[in-house]
Amino acid sequence: MSSSEYPLMIARQQEKLLSYIVSLVGDVDDAWDILQETNLILWKKQSELPEVQNFDAWTYTIAKFQTLRFLKTCKRRRVSYLNNELMEVMAQDAVEVLDERPERLKALAECSKQLKDKSQLVLGLFYKKKQSVRGITQETGIKESAVKQILARSRKALYQCIEKKLQSPQV
120, 95: one domain: no
Residue 103 is predicted with a pLDDT of 77
On whether residue 1 sits in a domain, the answer given is: no
Residues 6+ away with beta carbon under 8 Å from 140: 121, 122, 125, 147
Structurally, how many domains does the chain consist of?
2
pLDDT in tens, 68-103: 888 877 764 444 444 555 555 555 655 555 555 677
pLDDT at residue 128 above 60? yes
End-to-end CA distance of the chain: 29
Rounded to two decimals, what is the model's pTM? 0.47
Pick from 114, 126, 96: which is nearest to 164 by CA? 114
38, 117: one domain: no
Confidence of residue 106 (pLDDT cuts 50, 70, 90): confident
Q: Where are the beta strands (DSSP E) in 39-146?
A: none
**Percent of the chain with pLDDT strictly greater than 70:** 81
Residue 107 structural domain: 101-167
- The last residue of one of the domains, among 41, 64, 99, is 99
